[in-house]
Amino acid sequence: MGCDKPAGAAVLRAASVLRMLRKCRITHLVGLPDNSSARLFSLLDRRRAPRRVAVTREGEAFAVASGLWIGGARPAVLVQNTGLLESGHGLRGTALRRAARGRSAGASASVRNT
């Protein structure tokens, strides 16, 4: 099973998820521990790789993972369904701020060039 194919079982076992993370060379697993991920995070605490990075909100997980990725790591994010929705607000807000900054910079450049 390659790292691009999901496991066939409906319920994933923590050990098989850990094997897949290692097979895909994931260096860090970023997430908010909860009841469904407790066993996986417990396994990670006993191993050196991948490293566990706990966050206080799911929205933080993507920011932390982005920083790790920029620094050359290969992180993965583990969040629940609702956590992904909560994270989306931060991702959307960042994208909108970047787009607004780009438009205002372009507008002031065109004013100066006229």
Residue 46 is given by DSSP the state T
pLDDT tens digits, residue range 38-64?
888 888 888 778 998 989 888 888 888
The enclosing H or E element of 51 equals strand 51-54
- Whole-Å CA distances, 5 to 9, 55, 98, 99: 12, 27, 34, 34
55 near 77, Cβ under 8 Å?
no
pTM, whole model, 2 decimals? 0.66
**Domain residue extents for the chain:** 14-112
More confident residue, 24 or 45: 24
Termini Cα distance of the chain:
59
